[in-house]
Every structure is written in structure tokens, then in C-alpha cells.
Amino acid sequence: SQTIHQWPATLVQPVGSPLSLECTVEGTSNPNLYWYRQAAGRGLQLLFYSVGIGQISSEVPQNLSASRPQDRQFILSSKKLLLSDSGFYLCAWSPPRGADTQYFGPGTRLTVL
């Protein structure tokens, strides 16, 4: 069966510091991968998605970036965090075809102080 991992689970970072969040998927090949952000009490905002190694689509211009160095690894990064980057970051995967169910990881709670 497929599993998706995210780490760290929680993170507290100062403004201006760098960020690296990691997501890995097991039990599937060539998945579509997604990064979402969720502010407290709000909906899901799609940040990036990837349909293959090195292929990244950005949905919202901001100071975040994403990379997919391996088939089942998706990384969210920032060179300098802003206060507004605080939130709950969720990684998801879906089968490598058109619109299909996305399966979410446990999320990373990021607080920027």
C-alpha cells in the first residue's frame, strides 16, 4: 500500500531564516505530487505541483520554491521566511493520470516568529 511522509511535523523559525520541508511517497511510481498551504481555520491553497522529476508548476507567486530531485521526493523551500509564511503545509500525491483522488500526508505546522 502507499504511504506518504512529511517532516518535520512542527517547525518554529525566525523571520529571514531558510526553510526546507520534505515529502516522500512509498508504494507507487511516478506519482503526481502537490504542496498546499492552509492558514488557520481556512481552506487549502495549492502552491506547487509536479507530474515528474524536475517538472514543477507554480500556482502562486511568492518567496517559496519547490523541487523534485527524485521520483517520490518533493521538497518545499524558502531562502528567507516571512511572517506570512506561517501555516499548515500539506503534501499530497495522486496516481499519474488526470484528475484523481489526492492522498495527503500528515502535514507540517510552520510558525514564523
Partner 1 sequence: GESVGLHLPTLSVQEGDNSIINCAYSNSASDYFIWYKQESGKGPQFIIDIRSNMDKRQGQRVTVLLNKTVKHLSLQIAATQPGDSAVYFCAEGRSSASKIIFGSGTRLSIRP
- Using the contact rule CB under 8 A, the part of the chain among 13-21, 34-42, 67-75, 76-84 near partner 1 is 34-42
Q: Name residue, grid cell 512542527.
A: 10
Q: What is the DSSP string of the chain?
A: --EEEEE-SEEEE-TT--EEEEEEEES-SS-EEEEEEE-TTS-EEEEEEEEETTEEEESS-SSEEEEEEETTEEEEEESS--GGG-EEEEEEEE-SSSS---EE---EEEEE-
- Using the contact rule CB under 8 A, the part of the chain among 11-19, 61-69, 71-79, 89-97 near partner 1 is 89-97
Q: Is 1 in the site for partner 1 (CB under 8 A)?
A: no
Q: Is 51 in the site for partner 1 (CB under 8 A)?
A: yes
Q: Is 105 in the site for partner 1 (CB under 8 A)?
A: yes
- Residue of the chain from 14, 29, 43, 83 that contacts partner 1 (CB under 8 A): 43
Minimum distance between the CB of residue 36 and partner 1, rounded to whole angstroms? 8
The pattern of x and - marking residues 68 through 87 that bind partner 1 according to CB under 8 A reads --------------------
